[in-house]
Structure 1
Amino acid sequence: MTSPLVEIRGLEKQFDLSGSLLEQITFKDGRFQRKQEAVHAINGVDLQVQKGEALCVVGESGCGKSTVARTVMGLLSPTAGEIHYDGKRIDNLKGRDALPYRRKMQMIFQNPYASLNPRMTIQQTLEEPVRFHQPDLSQSDVRAKVQEVMQSVGIDPDWGSRFGHEFSGGQRQRIAIARALAVDPEFIVADEPISALDVSIQAQVLNLMMEAQETRNLTYLFITHDLAVVEHFGTRVAVMYLGRVCELADTKSLFATPRHPYTQALLSAIPRLEDERPNYIRLQGEVPTPVNLPSGCVFHGRCPHANERCRTEVPKLIATDANVQVACHGVEEGRL
């Protein structure tokens, strides 16, 4: 396998809940005590995104998918770990040093109703990143580039004088995709880009993104909770639970033979119009809070196959065959 375009190593992200120093100090049992709490959103994530692929990150709400996306893009600073782009570490770059990577890496946000500036016309919205990243372009070249990218995503260039609120959700998301493509990026992070859209529009936006991937040789990190979309769009899939990657496999292998108990439960919940479908797996208990993470495997409290080792030792991603990695003691020991 060639060297990855984007590599995430040991990524961790915590959000402090303790407040100021005075808010952390309490008086209990006759003495002052300091209490610090944090949300452990990401807990040691390792991922590699190969050039030209669409790596999908899936999992239930609160598992850390969007935090991974925002940390990779530099919108959040990692608490620990490293992010590399084309062999160079980028999470520690600031100011002008980060500018070349800002152009190569673009993001499509989840909510098209909030990601467009209501005070700017569509023309201004699309021209702004081009002017910022390519200041040498003339006015006519900028307009020509914006017109070309609008046509490529199915937007009438005559719409440029209108504002974002004049468009539907699907049209707004097309504009957001056009904004991301305007600077000719290599890598796009899509954070649940179709979850806020009507089902009838979702397929159109997905097909648009797949067409852009082919014509522009794009690489995607695609965040979603819709497994039907993953099966249609993804090259490989990373399944996350409570801030950790529990299984990483190519799409075909994951849907055909899921290894991790959590992945099996996720896939069993997909509605299917089949008589001979696998039995629905109902998990017991609730998802633990990311403030106080459980010891050992974060899934052991809901896993029917957990043993004492699962409760005390954190499993590592191990390769079960050429295209599959699983973080599960049961799989490692041959119990599953």
Structure 2
Amino acid sequence: MTIASTPRTDQLLTLRNVVKHFDISGGLLDQLRFQNGRLTRRRTTVKAVNNVSFSITAGETFSVVGESGCGKSTLARTTIGIYPPNRGEILYRDQRIDNKNAQQMLPFRRKMQMIFQDPYASLNPRKTVMQTLEEPVVFHNPRISSADVRQRVATVMSQVGVDPKWAGRYPHEFSGGQRQRISIARALMVDPEFIVADEPVSALDVSIQAQILNLLMDAQQQRGLTYLFITHDLSVVEHISTRVAVMYLGTLCELSPAKPLFETPRHPYTQALLSAIPKLGRPASQHIRLRGEVPTPIHLPSGCVFHGRCIHANQRCREEIPMPKQVETGVIVACHGIEEGRI
């Protein structure tokens, strides 16, 4: 499923038809089944990401949204190289990186960092903050002096709002918001240019969420960072995003600049998603209630993956996978109804 676009020299990251599936069949005995009186072997595959294509421009905040289980986090981890894609290509500054080994990826590891959802789980409980923050610096700069490392740790801790005097403490001695600030500091230690933020504020209190978001935006302005931001919180998306990609069952439904997406959503799933945002004064009749249940990514529906819950679906939607098409400047939608003028 390829998205046609005009080549741009400022594209930092490009995904082309990326597919990521997980085989959860288990061992041989788990795969064996009796069917029609015969012993057969059956594999079970979770189709987490299916033919996703997009490009991220240097300096922007590119957000990916969708319901839980739609493949957002898998897409993030595949993008940064934690998971290798089954098919497709990932390019960083026009260099393909999905086919590189660990040694070949080292120059890119310094440029690409990740902030995880749970800061407590992503920090080593047996290491102090100093040990956690100095590790990536020393790894990528083996000749750096100890004094320079300590100075860099102190500087970055101050920038993220954590007192450098606390560098000798362990993760359990900090609050959730402070731990996430330390996670952000770890990502900034090697001066990256691209950061994948996977639900970085979902585990925090609302008041702390605003502080962390402001910290991320300040860091972007000061350091010229580019973000791939994964979240299900649409109010956060509207606040920080340059462009937004909407996913459903591992498939890209709509890609649009943030303002047009929130003002005039085009895809039926995007419309339903945005109608669920609570707003004062909006009548309940304007809330779109989807029919049916979300299908399993193990057994994806034929045709459009959303057709079973879409009120506009016809026979073509049930049989043919829609191709992403540009419907207006910067807005790309994969929907037969929009292509045919029915929506």
Q: TM-score range by the shorter chain?
A: over 0.9
Change (3 A) 1:277 1:136: farther
Point out where structure 1 has 5 or more consecutive residues left out of the alignment.
none
- Say whether residues 1:289 and 2:293 are aligned partners: no
The match for 1:212 among 219, 225, 239 is 219
- Say whether residues 1:181 and 2:175 are aligned partners: no
- Say whether residues 1:105 and 2:94 are aligned partners: no
Tell me which residue corresponds to 1:255.
Answer: 262
Tell me which residue corresponds to 2:320.
Answer: 313
Tell me which residue corresponds to 2:48.
Answer: 41
The match for 2:338 among 322, 326, 331 is 331
Return the alpha-carbon distance in structure 1 between the equivalents of residues 26 and 120 of structure 2: 31
Tell me which residue corresponds to 1:86.
Answer: 93
- Say whether residues 1:130 and 2:137 are aligned partners: yes
The match for 1:119 among 126, 147, 159 is 126
The Cα of 1:277 is off from its aligned counterpart by 8.6
Do 1:268 and 1:278's aligned partners in 2 also have CA atoms closer than 8 Å?
no
Do 1:305 and 1:330's aligned partners in 2 also have CA atoms closer than 8 Å?
yes
The match for 1:67 among 74, 99, 102 is 74
The Cα of 1:54 is off from its aligned counterpart by 0.3
Q: Which amino acid aligns with 1:202?
A: Q
Return the alpha-carbon distance in structure 2 between the equivalents of residues 175 and 69 of structure 1: 20
Measured against aligned partners, the alpha-carbon deviations of 1:165-187 in whole angstroms (never above 9, x if no partner) come to 00000000000000000000010
Tell me which residue corresponds to 2:240.
Answer: 233
The match for 1:245 among 252, 261, 269 is 252
Return the alpha-carbon distance in structure 2 between the equivalents of residues 278 and 266 of structure 1: 15
Identity, in percent, stands at: 64
* Number of residue equivalences: 336
Look up the SS of the partner of 1:301 in the other structure: helix
Measured against aligned partners, the alpha-carbon deviations of 1:274-329 in whole angstroms (never above 9, x if no partner) come to 35798100000000010000000000000000000000000011000111000000
Q: How does 1:188-199 map to 2 (within 5 A)?
A: 188-199=195-206
Measured against aligned partners, the alpha-carbon deviations of 1:172-209 in whole angstroms (never above 9, x if no partner) come to 00000000000000100000000000001000000000
Return the alpha-carbon distance in structure 1 between the equivalents of residues 149 and 54 of structure 2: 36
Return the alpha-carbon distance in structure 2 between the equivalents of residues 259 and 30 of structure 1: 49
Look up the SS of the partner of 1:245 in the other structure: strand
Look up the SS of the partner of 2:229 in the other structure: strand
Return the alpha-carbon distance in structure 2 between the equivalents of residues 243 and 275 of structure 1: 31
The Cα of 1:79 is off from its aligned counterpart by 1.2
Return the alpha-carbon distance in structure 2 between the equivalents of residues 178 and 253 of structure 1: 33
Tell me which residue corresponds to 1:172.
Answer: 179
The match for 1:298 among 297, 305, 329 is 305
Superposition misfits of 4+ residues, deviation over 6 angstroms = none
Point out where structure 2 has 5 or more consecutive residues left out of the alignment.
1-7
TM-score (norm. length: structure 1): 0.98
- Say whether residues 1:30 and 2:46 are aligned partners: no
Look up the SS of the partner of 1:284 in the other structure: coil
